[in-house]
Structure 1
Amino acid sequence: MDFGLKVGDLVWAKMVSFSPWPARIVQPGPSTPKKTGRKECQWVYFFGSKNYAWIENNNIKPYADFKEKFYDCNNTALFKKAISEIEEFISKLAEDPNYELPNFDLPVPTSSSTTTNNTSTTSSKKSKTPSKEKEKEDPDKKFNKLISPKKTKKAAPVKRENSDAGSTRSSARAPKRSRTSPRLEENGIGDLGTEILNRPSILDAPESPTLNLNSISELLNTKDILASKLTFGFIGLGTIGSGIVKNLINSGHKVNLFNRTMKKCEDFKAQAENDVNKAGLVNTYIAPCDVMQNSDITFNCVSDPYNAKENLVGNCGITKVGDSFHGKGYVEMTSIDPQSSKDMCEIIKSKGGRYLEAQVQGSKNEADEGSLVVLTAGDKSLFVDCQSCFKAMGKTAFFLGDVGYATKTNLILQLMKGVALVGMAEGLALADRCGISSKDVLNIFNLTNLACGYLSNKAELIVKKEFKHVEQAIKHMQKDMQLALDLSDQLKQPLLMTSTANEVYKHARRLGYDEHDAACVYMRTRH
């Protein structure tokens, strides 16, 4: 049904395999490519991409009637630009019925007398007008020159004998369709390189972890925790560290704090001082070495191996305490590689200290609830001394043996999560491209045996596009994937899927999503 289509109508135009796109039916120019096929078609102009194409009538719908249905069928920046342009055009057209954009080549009605009087003048102008000037006056021809390949000489007619009639026929071989065909551009998704380069920066900054000692999880209330009488130091109040420290304080542990942003430490101390049951449990220090000196056991929970080593041996690092740690304990909770962990262990042991690697599986939500899974390896006596802390921060803690086993196990689990997340993101991107509601896909997904808390939660963030709600920053996920690949290089173990997934994460980071949740890898698969 063509709805009485005519030149000037605002419509939704759809090409095969692509979503409907805001467009306008325009008058074909003298250099407009001839339409192919027998079906009725319209020459349309696509908003946003400023491209043209012949579209069959049955793939054209009135813009106003189908606006609500097609408005959210595409999330690309170019599609949003197209919506903005057509809405602006409608607004200006309401103010001035004669308003027209320079992109359109619509016919201007003239009276018969004017046409007659100007016939000779027009004819003389045509004979004197250079060909280059004609091209300037015809936007269609100029556009087709930009997107079409250079013309080649037409092949000479090939004659062949007709065995039945004994006569000859001349036929020319049809020119092969150029690989530089503007088919993608015609559908409003052209100029892809420009779209990526000009993609707007992310305006919404990631949410910072909230520090609220009064928000005690139900799970923590059900735990029977007898707080150790030892004093614990804690370095790093990031996404995971803030939740761990909150549960340590709420379970009655005495904690000494250090963070690069000292305001977070002061906030924790101020909230503790305002609560009679927590007063005196929190102290703050201006350097890692001060925390180590005033604590029996010190936890280090920062972003990456570099910062972990810096807190250990850097300026004012914990090794600056003195020549001996006198049996003090050091627990490395940063997600690091096995070799770095072993190097740290040697440094701590050389000064008479005890070392334990404690890798955590979980995100911000699990840290806040106290439901992390803790994987440890190293000094078993230190593991025993930290039991009350591990009980406050997680639902279980494993001791896996010698230093290196916990870090390896953690990287293996992170590898599985990272590859699975990319697969799910690609599935939801394909659903969007097919015109299938991602919400429907998520509802069905949650009813199958594929569903798990991690993937369901990430899918929810993808559907709502809430990547600023950070549970695990994408830069940390990609860092763990890279550490897993480094480990595989040492063991000569091929990781094909992990290598590919790591490239997807790197590309998403390059698009500016470094500090956003790992679920934003969807934005790379979508575009």
Structure 2
Amino acid sequence: MQIVESNPEYEIVLESFVKKRPRSKSQKRTRDDTDPGAEDRPTKHKEIWCDTLKTGNIPVSQLKIGVIGIGNIGRVIAGKLVKTGHTVNVWNRTAQKSIALRKDLDHNIKLTIHDTPQSLLLNSDTIFICISDDNELKIFFQNNFNMHDPEENTLQDKGMIIMTSMGPEAAKDIKDMIEKKGGRYLETLIQRSSLDNNRFILLAAGDEELFQSIESCAKAFSTSSVFLGDAGNACIVYLVLQLIKGVWLAGLIEGFHLAERCGVSSKDFEKIFRDTLLCNNYMKARVGHVVFIITA
């Protein structure tokens, strides 16, 4: 077979189909060599069930809500909770972010800034923890909530809502850590909504009663909320969605590079791309950055 490099004088023509050679028995994949029927069995899927919070007019929760970590996500959540009438306590490692949030909310009396996580814990029923890394999350719990003392139930009856992106095994470790201290665990991961880019879709797993108790909170910042069963399940769904987004972005970058190599400028291709169905909200927010990088 002659390999023809990219050349305008040549074209690729499919001349014929060739029947695939059968694999030898030694080449066949088997799930279990000791079980001859294993190959015919369907793959066992993880049991994940979904439930959504009810919509419509939901009364504002009388629970005192805590938000730890006033970064990009924590700031949005705390702000929307205050604006919808919830009583909110906040703490951040650097107080300036909490102060800036209070200023943006016109010093709303529903918002209270705490000097320590311990103070926030004492004055809150349910706490959203917005820490980005699961290792930092573990260190935070160990340093602030007496996790090493086996006899002290520091988190007794507290609802701990973890918004950290992590693997399912790490999620189960955090759940065990919280429950050993008397607390209740709910993981909640968020994705931007296709209906309203300033609001989220909430993916939750863990304590179902805790999930039901935050319905007015979820309504404040999300267009829909989905309960996915046991701890770790929401993390799995979130990671799959992140993988899909990564593949889309890689395809976008490769597509622009290919257009450039074929003589179509990035600016011209951007105009074409923006008019297609492919340019959804996620792509639209990133295509400008891709063009900037390629043309820089």
Alignment of 1:90-489 (within 5 A): 224=57, 226-272=59-105, 274=106, 278-279=108-109, 281-313=110-142, 315-317=143-145, 319=147, 322-362=152-192, 369=198, 371-463=199-291, 465=292
User: Which one has the largest radius of gyration?
Assistant: 1
- Is 2:186–2:211's contact at 8 Å kept on the other side of the alignment? yes
* Cα deviation digits, residues 357-410 of structure 1 (max 9, x gap): 0011139xx67x2x2111000101100111111111111010000001000000
Return structure 1 stretches of 4+ with deviation > 6 angstroms. Answer: none
- Is 2:75–2:101's contact at 8 Å kept on the other side of the alignment? no
Find the aligned partners of 1:254 and 1:424 in 2 and give their Cα distance. 43
Residues 244 and 318 (structure 1), Cα distance of their counterparts in 2 relative to 1, 3 Å cut:
farther
Residues 352 and 373 (structure 1), Cα distance of their counterparts in 2 relative to 1, 3 Å cut:
same
Task: State the secondary structure of the residue aligned to 2:93.
Answer: coil
Deviation at 1:435, TM superposition (A): 4.0
Task: State the secondary structure of the residue aligned to 2:259.
Answer: helix
- Is 1:311–1:318's contact at 8 Å kept on the other side of the alignment? no
Deviation at 1:251, TM superposition (A): 1.0
- Is 2:64–2:88's contact at 8 Å kept on the other side of the alignment? yes
Deviation at 1:319, TM superposition (A): 4.4
**TM-score with structure 2 length normalisation?**
0.73
What's the Cα RMSD here?
2.7
- Is 1:289–1:320's contact at 8 Å kept on the other side of the alignment? no
Find the aligned partners of 1:249 and 1:292 in 2 and give their Cα distance. 18
- Is 2:58–2:215's contact at 8 Å kept on the other side of the alignment? no
Deviation at 1:252, TM superposition (A): 1.2
**TM-score with structure 1 length normalisation?**
0.42
Task: State the secondary structure of the residue aligned to 2:256.
Answer: helix
- Is 1:331–1:358's contact at 8 Å kept on the other side of the alignment? yes
Deviation at 1:433, TM superposition (A): 4.0
Structure 1: gaps (5+ residues): 1-16, 18-222, 466-521
Task: State the secondary structure of the residue aligned to 1:360.
Answer: strand
- Is 2:146–2:154's contact at 8 Å kept on the other side of the alignment? no
Greater RCO (Cα-Cα under 8 Å, separation 6 or more): 2
Residues 260 and 252 (structure 1), Cα distance of their counterparts in 2 relative to 1, 3 Å cut:
same
Find the aligned partners of 1:404 and 1:341 in 2 and give their Cα distance. 5
- Is 1:310–1:317's contact at 8 Å kept on the other side of the alignment? no
Find the aligned partners of 1:393 and 1:379 in 2 and give their Cα distance. 20
Deviation at 1:287, TM superposition (A): 2.7
Find the aligned partners of 2:287 and 2:187 in 1 and give their Cα distance. 32
Task: State the secondary structure of the residue aligned to 1:244.
Answer: helix
Deviation at 1:346, TM superposition (A): 0.7
Deviation at 1:324, TM superposition (A): 4.1
Deviation at 1:271, TM superposition (A): 4.1
Task: State the secondary structure of the residue aligned to 1:335.
Answer: coil
Task: State the secondary structure of the residue aligned to 1:308.
Answer: helix
Residues 390 and 320 (structure 1), Cα distance of their counterparts in 2 relative to 1, 3 Å cut:
farther
Find the aligned partners of 2:134 and 2:155 in 1 and give their Cα distance. 22
Identical residues among aligned pairs (%): 38
Find the aligned partners of 1:247 and 1:386 in 2 and give their Cα distance. 14
Deviation at 1:311, TM superposition (A): 2.0
- Is 1:233–1:296's contact at 8 Å kept on the other side of the alignment? yes
Amino acid at match of 1:311: F
Aligned residues: 239
Find the aligned partners of 1:430 and 1:287 in 2 and give their Cα distance. 53
